[in-house]
Amino acid sequence: MKKTVFVGALAVAGLSAGIAAADTLADVQARGKLNCGVATGVPGFAYTDANGDWQGFDVAVCRAVAAAVLSDPTAVEFVPTTGKTRFTALASGEIDMLARNTTWTFSRDVDLKFDFIGINYYDGQGFMVSKELGVSSAKELDGATVCIQTGTTTELNLADFFRINNLSYEPVPIETNAEAQQQYLAGACDVYTTDASGLAATRASFEDAANHVILPEIISKEPLGPLVRHGDNEWGDVVRWTLNALIAAEELGVTSANVAELASAAGNNPEINRLLGTEGTLGEMLGLDADWAVKALSVSGNYGEVFEKNIGETTPIGLARGLNAQWTSGGLLYSPPFR
Amino acid sequence: MTDIKFVRDAMVEEQEPPAATAGFVGWIRGNLFSSTLNAILTILSGGFILFVISALLPWIISPTWNAGSLRECHEILAGHEGACWGVIRERWLQLLFGFYPSELYWRVVLDFVLLIVAVAPVLFTGLPRKMLAFSAIYPFLMPWLLWGGTVWLPIAVAFGFVLGFLAHRFAKPIIGGLGGAILAFLVPVVWWLFLAGPVSGGLASVLPLALETVESRNFGGFMLSITIGVVAIAISLPIGIVLALGRQSDLLIVRSLSVGFIEFIRGVPLITLLFVASTLLNIFMPPGTDFDIIMRVIIMVTLFASAYMAEVIRGGLAALPKGQYEAADALGLNFWMSQRLIIMPQALKISIPGIVSTFIGVFKDTTLVSIIGLLDPIGLSTTIRADQNWNGIVWELYGFIGLLFFIFCFSMSRYSMFLERKLQTGHR
């Protein structure tokens, strides 16, 4: 009897939490700060610079949303989350959104009751080997020793891949990326496998980067994207369309350099006009100012600019656009129309 | 008379001891080469130390202090092995202070300097007793300096203790000892829960004396470790004493509460308590409550340390001969007087090594907070490595963090040895 009362009290507490947190947009505006969950450190995606400011590809999403909602890209409280704390932090309302290279999976979306609002990076698991090994395809890796982070989806993907191709391997379990780099360089394993973006960042840190290759096979789908709680669709829309605005701006040729000029008066491209608020009432529909997208784009430009600045080919990480190119250039980025 | 061949009429001068048994050579012979086996062991371990140093020194002495990234380090070293110290030059302030605003670093430094001032009179009985007044003020000064905000809040909190004391003083003659004790507990709690906030708010609007507020999220690095460690250590000792006494009490409820608390907390790993602090509390608390994450962690670490402290002190109490208790009773002392004058001074003295090792353990355990996403030195090392400039650096960061931890822990343990010598009264 006592137990049911206790459970009931918990349920009521949980329910009231859900109801009270249902208007995140108003909460954020009243607070004047966006609580954004980020990773504690993923090269190129989230890190702190020497001044203690957060930088990176995921961080840029937080800043764009803060600019759109609060007109201030610095009005963000970055909450570092680990793989273990990220989902409870979001579910409990400690953070308003999570932008922490999190793979969109069925169970996270449905069972954990989150809404993935889009995909900001299409990743996939790859392999890195030393050139001395003379391997050009992952299918030649029979009998190799593989450094693999335990307790991750990559571990399961690896087992699947080798089983399907009828190959054998010897796993070397490791805990963190830093440990993996040391083990791989020390020759404890022939192959290091993790997300391709992580491999590129790791390779870039090697003294002899040219002696290591990333094999062409990508053995899993890892669509990474920001997410929000279930049940607050207005807030979900704000985050979703802020990300879409960054993507659409690249397609439409709106950059941080020309956004102010394009937004000063209505031009002859109606979609740009609607995006930048010089025509139509899209901002009002979201509950934001008419120039919300202008503010979001003024922070660090459109999707392509953010990509180039943080993880693109000019950076040490040097990722090619690949799947993350616009659909017009053979990639998968495809923003629904602003209409 | 002429039979006498020789009479010494002058004292022989004191001679230097043989060269082989005195000075440097004597010390070496006595301590390092006193037997064949010792000589072999000395040579072997000397060779090992030389080997380690010769491998480490060229790595440590490396001209990379001014490098701006790992790549620059590689260029400077041009293929030679060597550490990349540029990361320490660029990030040492971050490792010490986290994201605390740099123009406010003085507050943190001042806080920890004052900590030493406040602790000194407690530890060194030779200092003037008036300094203890500052030690009493310090617990309220410290959070104000670290977090900032209005000065009236810590004053209001301190006033709660005054209220409790007054309630005890004036209610005791009227409603008796037990009622007085209950009032002394209830009055401050009511004050803190319902009145301290509005009163300090009101005073602040009349006379706004305030420091710039710093959010807990900006705490990080060693400052975070020391804050959590010092607060937990300071509060866990009194709680531990109370729990240890409670566990020995004849009152059933007090005893079972103490035993239940100690056994429950000791039966749960610290990391579990931290997860409760970071995730579970969040879900169960009423929505909208913004209960500071660092506060939650400090409370959990304090509870954890208190349970261990209680058992250490219980060990000290158990080591006292029964005669000491009986002597105190025979002198007609009441419970608290006998504890204060006779039992506790001896029990605490016996427990010093255990207490200090609990302190050191708690301080080092604070690194576990990196698992729940707080950026203590270990957590910061991850974000620093995520900066592409420093990706791939491992030993330099961990070495620096390890060195600082060693300095703190080593000085604590030396201090405990000093205390033991000072308090030695010759029972053994």
Q: What is the pLDDT of residues A44-72, one digit of tens each?
A: 899 998 888 999 999 999 999 999 999 99
Final residue belonging to a domain, choices A166, A194, A220: A220
Distance from CA of A40 to the nearest CA of B (A): 6
Chain A residues within 8 A of B388 when measuring between CB atoms: 43-44, 47, 201, 204-205, 315-317
Which of A5-14, B62-71, B300-309 is predicted least confidently? A5-14
Residues A297, A187: one domain?
no
Nearest to A36 by CA among A127, A129, A119, A102: A102
Same domain, B252 and B204: no
Tell me if A14 and B283 make a contact (CB, 8 A cut-off). yes
φ/ψ of A280, rounded to 5, equals 75, 180
pLDDT the model gives residue A333: 94
Alpha carbon of residue A10 to chain centroid: 33
**Residues A211, A161 share a domain:** yes
- Which pLDDT score, from 0 to 100, does residue A12 have? 42
Same domain, B333 and B348: yes
Same domain? For B232 and B336 the reply is: yes
Pair A282, A177 in one domain: no
**Do the Cβ atoms of A181 and B99 come within 8 Å?**
no
Q: What is the pLDDT of residue B425?
A: 66
Contact call for B375 and A204, based on CB within 8 A: no
Nearest CA in chain A to B81: A207
Does residue B351 lie in a domain region? yes
Residues from chain B that touch A128, judged by Cβ atoms under 8 A, are: none
Looking at residue A2, its pLDDT comes to: 40
Min Cα separation A235/chain B (Å):
17
Q: Quick one: B172 and B243 in the same domain?
A: no
Note whether ipTM > 0.85 here: no
Q: Are B222 and B342 found together in one domain?
A: yes
Q: Which residue has the higher pLDDT, B193 or A99?
A: A99
Whether residues A31 and A98 fall in one domain: yes
Residue-range definition of the domain harbouring residue A263: 2-122+224-329
The verdict on B140 touching A (C-beta cutoff 8 Å) is: no
Q: What is the pLDDT of residue A3?
A: 40
B290-298 long-range contacts (CB < 8 A, ≥24 apart) are B292/B216, B293/B216, B293/B217, B293/B374, B294/B216, B294/B219, B294/B224, B294/B227, B294/B228, B294/B374, B295/B216, B297/B228, B297/B369, B297/B372, B297/B374, B298/B227, B298/B228, B298/B231, B298/B232
- B350 within domain boundaries: yes
Scanning B246-265 for CB atoms below 8 A from A yields none
* Residue in chain B lying closest to A7 (CA): B284
A249 and A115 together in one domain? yes
In this structure, the answer to whether residues B34 and B173 fall within a common structural domain is: no
Same domain, A185 and A239: no
**Domain endpoint, select from B168, B186, B211:** B211
Same domain, yes or no: B285 and B335: yes
Give B279's contacts in chain A (Cβ within 8 Å): 85, 88-89, 92
Q: A171-180, B55-64, B196-205: which has the highest mean pLDDT?
A: B55-64
Average pLDDT of the segment spanning B62-72? 87
For Cα atoms A162, A165, A170, give the angle at the middle one, nearest 5 degrees: 30
Over residues B119-144, the mean pLDDT reads: 82
Q: Scanning every residue of chain A, which has its alpha carbon at the shortest distance from the alpha carbon of B378?
A: A40
User: Do A160 and A13 lie in a common domain?
Assistant: no
Same domain, A114 and A187: no
The Cβ-side half-sphere exposure at A313, using a 13 Å CA radius, reads 5
> Is position B390 within any domain?
yes
pLDDT of residue A154: 84
Is the predicted pLDDT of residue A16 greater than 50, yes or no?
no
Chain segment A239-276, per-residue pLDDT in tens = 999 999 999 999 999 999 999 999 998 889 999 999 99
Q: Which domain holds residue B182?
A: 149-211
A19 pLDDT higher than 60: no
Yes or no, beta carbons of B279 and A50 under 8 Å apart: no
A7 has a pLDDT exceeding 50: no
Return mean pLDDT, chain B: 86
Best residue in B388, B389, B395, B396 to probe A by mutation, most A CBs within 10 Å?
B388
Q: How far is it, in rounded angstroms, from Cα B272 to Cα B304?
A: 11
Number of domains observed in the structure of chain B: 3
Are the Cβ atoms of A46 and B386 closer than 8 angstroms?
yes
Residue B187 sits in the same domain as residue B238? no
Q: Tell me the per-residue pLDDT of A196-213, one tens digit each, with 9 for 90 and over.
A: 888 888 888 887 888 999
The string of pLDDT tens digits covering residues A164-193 is 999 999 999 887 777 888 889 888 999 999
pLDDT at B207 over 70: yes
Q: Is residue B177 part of a domain?
A: yes
Q: What is the mean pLDDT of residues B231-239?
A: 91
**Inter-chain touch A16–B278, beta carbons under 8 Å:** no
Mean pLDDT for the stretch of residues A129-149: 90
Average pLDDT, integer, range B50-65: 90
Averaged pLDDT score across all residues of chain A: 87
In this model, does residue B289 exceed pLDDT 90? no
Tell me: do A115 and A145 sit in the same domain: no
User: Which among B70, B279, B385 is the nearest to A178, CB-wise?
Assistant: B385
